[in-house]
A and B are shown apart, each in its own frame.
Chain A
């Protein structure tokens, strides 16, 4: 069975600063990895996904993530955070390509200081 760990429950960064959210996964085969964002009172929105190919993937809203198989990690990054990025971020791993069967981490809440 797959699992996901997001070690940071809450992160605070200043507007304009860089951001890295950590994600570690456990899965026996090639993982299908995702990052989602959830604003208060909203559903989840897909930021980016990785299945194969280039280990650095670009997503929406200026986010990117890097897959590192040796470290079982899929960390999310953004070079310059905007106040509107304040939200909760979820990393997820799916067996094969069925995104609906994903196991989600417990999320990281991002606060952006002005």
Chain B
């Protein structure tokens, strides 16, 4: 069974530029999450999707971050404009169900903002 796929693995941009990350969850997983993991810290939830709807985006900095999951499968996370403090690994995870479902994580996309 294929795991959660993310791309790109690495991205370096200058502040005020934009960047987008892509995630393809495990087939059949209805729930998808994006996390931000700053160096030396645990992951922090940014947004949760159930199929193509947003369940929780309370921790997403909406002035610069956006995310979508238009067809209930792939998802894109965008940052525009990027700030230095956005340097982090962006992890995507999926689960069969939001209740009781095990999380499966992708390898992450490492962003460096100069």
Interface residues of A (CB under 8 A from B): 4, 41-46, 49, 90, 92, 96-107
Bound CA span A101–B101, Å: 11
Evaluate contact between B41 and A98: CB separation under 8 angstroms: no
Evaluate contact between B93 and A107: CB separation under 8 angstroms: no
Q: Chain A at the B interface: mostly helix, strand, loop or mixed?
A: mixed
> Could you jot down 5 A-B contacts, CB within 8 Å?
A43-B108, A49-B102, A90-B43, A100-B31, A101-B45
CB-CB under 8 A from B33, the residues of chain A are 100
Does residue B14 face the partner (Cβ distance < 8 Å to A)?
A: no
Given contacts A92-B42, A97-B99, A100-B93, contact A42 B48 (CB under 8 A): no
CB-CB under 8 A from A41, the residues of chain B are 107-108
A-facing mask of B74-114, CB < 8 A → 1, else 0? 00000000000000000101010011111101111000000
Interface size range of chain B in the complex: 20 to 34
Evaluate contact between A99 and B95: CB separation under 8 angstroms: yes
Bound CA span A98–B40, Å: 24
Evaluate contact between A97 and B100: CB separation under 8 angstroms: yes
Does residue B67 face the partner (Cβ distance < 8 Å to A)?
A: no
Question: Contact partner of A101 among B41, B42, B48, B107, CB < 8 A?
Answer: B48
A96 — nearest CB in chain B belongs to which residue? B99
Bound CA span A90–B41, Å: 9
Given contacts A92-B42, A100-B33, A104-B44, contact A45 B99 (CB under 8 A): no
CB-CB under 8 A from B43, the residues of chain A are 44, 90, 104
Closest 7 pairs between A and B when the two form their complex, measured CB to CB? A104-B42, A43-B105, A44-B105, A97-B100, A100-B33, A99-B103, A43-B107
Evaluate contact between B42 and A98: CB separation under 8 angstroms: no
CB-CB under 8 A from B108, the residues of chain A are 41-43
Evaluate contact between A43 and B56: CB separation under 8 angstroms: no
